[in-house]
Amino acid sequence: GEDVEQSLFLSVREGDSSVINCTYTDSSSTYLYWYKQEPGAGLQLLTYIFSNMDMKQDQRLTVLLNKKDKHLSLRIADTQTGDSAIYFCAEREVDSGNTPLVFGKGTRLSVIA
């Protein structure tokens, strides 16, 4: 079955770039997502990319996809203390309609002022 893996922790200094990595196993057409979870809050969709794309940029966020290695990364430029949260990578197949998401365990990003 599908599986998504992430490193559990990342610590960066305010103003630096953060890079959060994710690997996945699904080999079919897939969407890949990044969600953010702040303490006590739900899952906020940040961005997503389809598996036929290599890169997507949205303001401070850059998503890079290496299809050969099944590796996805989220880069946050100029990281701020407000970016401290857990970041979840998720994937879903798109061939069979509205399918559930498969999540990684989440990466806890700590931003040091």
Partner 1 sequence: EPEVTQTPSHQVTQMGQEVILRCVPISNHLYFYWYRQILGQKVEFLVSFYNNEISEKSEIFDDQFSVERPDGSNFTLKIRSTKLEDSAMYFCANEGTGSTDTQYFGPGTRLTVL
Binding residues for partner 1, rule: CB under 8 A, are 31, 33, 35, 40-45, 48, 88, 90, 94, 98-106
Instruction: Pick between residue 12 and residue 103 the one whose CB is nearest to partner 1.
Output: 103
Q: Minimum distance from CB of 92 to partner 1 (Å)?
A: 8
Q: Minimum distance from CB of 15 to partner 1 (Å)?
A: 27
Instruction: Pick between residue 8 and residue 19 the one whose CB is nearest to partner 1.
Output: 8
Query: What is the total residue count of the chain?
Result: 113
Q: Minimum distance from CB of 113 to partner 1 (Å)?
A: 26
